[in-house]
Amino acid sequence: MAITSANQLELLQTAEAVAREKMIDPDLVIQAMEDSLARAAKSRYGSEMDIRVHIDRKTGRAAFTRVRTVVADDEVENYQAQLTVAQAKQYKRDPELGDEIIDEVPPVDLGRIAAQSAKQVILQRVREAERDRQFDEFKDRKGTIINGVVKREEYGNIIVDVGRGEAILRRNEKIGRESYRPNDRIRAYVKDVRRETRGPQIFLSRTDPQFMAELFKMEVPEIYDGIIEIKAVARDPGSRAKIAVLSHDNSIDPVGACVGMRGSRVQAVVGELQGEKIDIIPWNADQATFLVNALQPAEVSKVVVDEDAGKIEVVVPDEQLSLAIGRRGQNVRLASQLTGLDIDILTEAEESQRRQAEFAERTKLFVDALDLDEFFAQLLVAEGFTNLEEVAYVDLDELLSIEGVDEGTAEELQARARDYIEEQNRKAIEAAKELGVEQSLFDFDGLTPQMVEALAKDDVKTLEDFATCADWELAGGWTTVNGARVKDEGILEKFGMSLEDAQNLIMTARIQLGWVDPSELADEPEESEEEAEE
């Protein structure tokens, strides 16, 4: 097949037809034709030559040119595509480095193999252009709901026709045991759109919490208009969900607006989610109030928030415990996801029992350590003293404010407490040294001798060992295993070590060892609110 004998206008018509069919720019198809013809010409004239082809967009005429670039004498590597300034003077009066010498070469006749190669190049470029077009079209639809038609099922995954492309709904993104047949209509949330070697991949989800949020946005005009804001969503797909809403207009009830007349709006969402039970909860800036709302329908007697540890304790009446926890812990788990806090639920009886145990434990500590009678030790605990350090180093006036305590008694109390603490420190230092602790750990500011002893028992014996610890190893925390919360005991948790304190101590150790440059930490840009939330 010779390009010169082909109908040149037919070339343009072919490009137009392909572009229209694949819904891409016709110029991209013509560029692919130019590349394929250039490759065929190189196989004819030599692969080292820089052969370029330009197809006239109006006439369809293909012009073949050979390009040589002017380079310095010592930079010539390819004599077919480069030439020196002296050589270039034959073609140009005052050639300069970087100039291009362009000569027209005769068009080539495409043999069977060359024509096949050219076809492959064109198809490849068209496919790439089609993928780019598809990615550009769907990348902006990430985070929205899309309607499609089921094409087929592959290993439990559903392939969905979404118009100008295909999307995949993985089996773990389906609600419960829902099944689909070919040509069924489906509505799903566009969770991600990614470029991959086989083309753009569109990942759908029906279990993502944001799928429910987007459904509410479609059903509730006030959410779409921004009058009502969805602050948090938590789901147990196919079973139960909680959604927290806030109204920016005092005259509009956010919960009532989401429920709708006779439940019409929420029922539309429930129907799409295969009967998932939805609790609509008013959001509140106060964590304790929000949590009380989140644990509905259970009643809450008392809430104790530990902001440093990110934990919250909830006390409920004995008969409300099963309702607060929910079936298989579902209610408390969803409330925890909604508020972003670890929630411990206690009954009133359990809390009373725990308080009594703490009272007895502190009383015994003061009796044993300070050689006090039980009544006086209980008086100290009742006044809010929880440990010996508080007694030893508190302002003397606080002890004098206790009924029946004079200045001499207060000074004697503090002296006994300090003597006991010093004796305990001495014993802890001796025990730690016997375990092989290096002096660098004793000298590190922020660790008491008892802490050093506890670290040594866990085989942390040098400052280098300490610097390699994780914050949760020191302060403890909670992890979720198979849906159940499991407690991780921290080495220093019994000393009241918080995660933030642990992070600061570990970073200080790394700086002292020279592992971290403090100036680099100071230069790091602060996280934006959005980045912190992510």
Give the DSSP letter string of 188-228. Answer: EEEEEEE--TTS-EEEEESSSHHHHHHHHHHH-HHHHTTSE
Query: Under DSSP, is residue 342 helix (H, G, I), strand (E, B) or coil?
Result: strand
> Measuring CA to CA, how many Å separate 510 from each of 238, 323, 518?
47, 47, 10
Alpha helices in 273-373 (DSSP H): 287-294, 321-325, 330-339, 348-370
Backbone φ, ψ for residue 474 (5° rounding): -85, -50
The count of residues in the chain is 534
Give, to the nearest 10 degrees, the angle between helix 8-22 and helix 112-139.
Answer: 30
| pLDDT reported for residue 481 | 65
Among 185, 204, 176, residue whose Cα is nearest residue 273:
176
Query: What domains are there in the chain, each with its CATH number?
Result: 5-132 (3.30.1480.10), 140-205 (2.40.50.140), 436-523 (no CATH)
| pLDDT reported for residue 430 | 92
| pLDDT reported for residue 10 | 62
| pLDDT reported for residue 534 | 41
Encoded amino acid at 273, one letter: L
Residue 105: Cβ within 10 Å count:
16
Pick left, alpha or beta for residue 314 (phi over 0 → left; psi -120 to 50 → alpha; otherwise beta): beta
Tell me 309's DSSP state: T
Please, which residues have CB within 8 angstroms of residue 523's CB and are 6 or more apart in sequence?
Answer: none
| 82-83 and 62-70 beta bridge pairing | parallel
| pLDDT reported for residue 299 | 82
| pLDDT reported for residue 482 | 64
pLDDT tens string for the chain (534 positions)?
A: 334 434 456 666 766 776 676 666 777 777 777 777 787 777 777 777 888 888 777 777 777 888 888 888 777 777 777 778 777 777 777 777 877 777 777 776 655 555 565 566 666 767 776 677 777 777 778 888 888 899 888 888 888 888 777 888 888 888 877 788 888 898 888 888 877 766 668 889 998 989 999 999 999 999 989 899 999 999 988 888 999 999 998 889 999 999 988 889 999 989 888 888 899 999 988 888 888 888 888 888 888 776 655 567 888 888 888 888 888 888 888 888 888 877 888 888 887 888 888 889 888 988 888 888 888 888 888 888 888 888 888 888 888 888 778 888 888 888 898 898 899 889 999 999 999 999 999 899 989 999 999 999 999 999 999 999 988 889 887 676 665 667 778 898 888 888 888 999 999 999 999 888 887 765 554 444 444 344
Q: Using CA atoms, how far apart are residues 373 and 520, in angstroms rounded to an integer?
A: 56
- This prediction has a pTM of 0.56
| pLDDT reported for residue 120 | 67
